[in-house]
Homo-oligomer: A and B are copies of this chain.
Amino acid sequence: MEEWIAAFEAALNAGQVEAAVSMFSAKECYWRDLVAFTWNIATMDGRSAISKMLHEQLTQVGSISIEPEGEAKVDGEGVESWFDFETATARGKGYVRLREGKCWTLFTSMTELKGFEELSGRRRQAGAEHTASKERLTWLEEREREERTIGTEIQPYCLVVGGGQGGLALGARLKMLGVPTLIVDRLPRPGDAWRQRYKSLNLHDAVWSNDLPYIPFPVHWPIYMSKDKIGDWLEMYAKVMELNIWCSTTIRSAHFDDQAKEWIVNVEREGKTVVLRPKQLVLATGLSGKPKTPALPGAESFAGVQYHSSEHRDSTALAGKNVIVLGSNNSAHDICVDLWTVDADVTMIQRSSTSVLKIPQNPPSPDLPTPRRDLLSASMPFRARESIDREECEKDQRENATFYAQLRSAGFLLDFGEDNTGVVGKYFRRASGYYLDVGGSDLIINGQIKVRSATTIKEIRQRSVLLSDGSELDADAVIYATGFEPMESWVGTLISKDCERRVGHCWGLGSNTAMDPGPWEGELRNMWKPTAQEGLWFHGGSLSQSRIYSLYLALQIKGRLENLPISVHQPAPIDRGPITSQ
């Protein structure tokens, strides 16, 4: 391993691209880079892609030093190792996996820009000066001045739309990098996006996956947090990280001024219109666009209540009623369970098959600290992880064979993804099509939640729904768990339809499976990376993605603020266009 690293370092420093490329496996090889070499989030797949990247980027990267970190790990198939590296402009952390002496996967990630290191740990600020001064402001005075002036006297360099975990995590990173930032959110308090969800909602990921940057969750917190607990935490986080947030604030329009190279953003805050002129605009509005409700014949004549799943708060008013839930993904299941707790008569209408994954009640806590797990997980290129996901999914199917059989017997349409990569595969490709089972499937198996599958609602009548299979169900309420517009729809709403088309689809890898058309891109489209629209960025996903990728997005923004020489490898295609397949 040490020899490989030393030889690779030497080849790069000598500009011997072909020598470097020959150290990768001719059969299968990947180089995944987070900002350090490409100023992008990119995976180079195969020797020729790697060769192209090095030819284009090596001059900019400059002189490189690479140091193995710790002992290399030998397993049956090969050997792998952490390493630290330094380029002309940055320090980074990497991971390399060798097979038969050649590189199978190489991972490089930027940790910090030289000269712009975070003032943390041994670099932390004094906070107080131990000499008397007549001019010095107190911490409170400085903080109040910053809050008062940002967006009014001082333009934010970066405007973040959305104050959920994504916006806050990014805001925190930018704060630590000294990037003047303003976050706007339509709700009154940070955390409200969680608080306003239905009351039984808990996080599906274990607490150790969910840390935000800089302030980990307390070590006594439960494995699965309630939505109100995370809501309160986010509010605390915004305060403690001293983020500048305008709550109860809505973006009316945003337009990029190509001359001034800045955005003109019209914002409504407390009834007044404010114009902001940030250089960078980040949409951290979540994976979903606006709620999508089908226009069903007869809906206007329905005598009961009907609403989209995103409006579901509490089932109390539906106690004992006949309720139809259209949809079969996470929120459909959670709402069905919630209705069952008040003894509603619940029927789920499953239009197409769904993946189900049982969430373990007591998963073992991990051995590696969070930053290492983050990097290790990021080090595996998406293409290479497909077979791992498939193995996991097949193992799950074997271990839970009885459960899945029972679910099918109850009439539930089950699938494990087009290529058996299960829920994980679907998450990265389309972020939908699955249920993370926290108890709903058992109610389906027991018949306490009824399922009508491979059908949909054809027509709504005054007190019933007519299904496409011809049957008719009594209905006091219809809840549409029918999903959301894609996240890029926010671009159309806030900026322009033209910009939405140019930027195109967000999320998905180009796997050429349902809702993720090809060509293969190998990274999540448009996420945390330069888009076809200058100065426009997307940030979103799970808490752990928010934690991990907020760093790389923040470093890209900081680099631009500091006018570093930035040449982006594999820039986004122009006119990527909307999602078209299936």
Contact = CB atoms under 8 A, between A and B. Distances in A.
Interface of A: 118-122, 124-134, 138-141, 143, 176, 199-200, 202, 207, 214-215, 218-226, 228-229, 232-233, 236, 239-241, 337, 340-341, 343, 358-362, 365, 437-440, 442-443
Nearest to A144: B228
A438 B240 contact: no
A228 B132 contact: no
A214 B219 CA distance: 7
Contact of A130 (B124, B128, B221, B437): B437
Contacts of A442: 131-132
A126 B222 contact: yes
Contacts of A225: 127, 139
A554 to B, nearest CB: 14
A228 B141 CA distance: 10
Contacts of A337: 132
A451 B128 CA distance: 25
Contacts of A222: 124-128
Nearest to A176: B220
Contacts of A226: 127-128, 138-140
Given A139-B229, A236-B236, A128 B202 contact: yes
A186 to B, nearest CB: 22
A220 B133 CA distance: 25
A122 B220 CA distance: 9
Given A121-B365, A233-B240, 8 more contacts: A120-B220, A122-B365, A134-B340, A140-B199, A140-B226, A214-B220, A215-B218, A236-B240
A121 B369 CA distance: 13
A439 B443 CA distance: 69
Nearest to A449: B132
Number of copies of this protein chain within its complex:
2
A137 to B, nearest CB: 10
A199 B138 contact: yes
Please list the 4 inter-chain residue pairs (A to B) with the smallest Cβ-Cβ separation, ordered nearest first: A127-B222, A139-B226, A128-B224, A120-B220
Nearest to A204: B128
Nearest to A121: B219
A286 to B, nearest CB: 22
A359 B223 CA distance: 42
9 contacts: A122-B365, A124-B365, A127-B222, A132-B440, A134-B343, A139-B229, A140-B228, A214-B218, A236-B240
A129 B223 CA distance: 10
B224 A127 contact: yes
Given A118-B220, A199-B138, A228-B139, A129 B361 contact: yes
A220 B124 contact: yes
A219 to B, nearest CB: 5
Contacts of A126: 222-224, 361-362
A359 B239 contact: no
A220 to B, nearest CB: 4
Contacts of A143: 228
Nearest to A361: B130
Contacts of A139: 225-226, 228-229
Contacts of A343: 134
A130 B240 contact: no
Contacts of A130: 358-361, 437-439
Contacts of A437: 130
A120 B219 contact: yes
A438 B220 contact: no
Nearest to A364: B122
- Among A220, A225, A439, chain B packs the most CB atoms within 10 A around the CB of A220
A477 to B, nearest CB: 19
A337 B131 CA distance: 10
Contacts of A341: 132-134
A439 to B, nearest CB: 4
Contacts of A133: 341, 439
Contacts of A340: 132, 134
A581 to B, nearest CB: 34
A149 to B, nearest CB: 18
Nearest to A141: B199
Contacts of A200: 138
A138 B214 contact: no
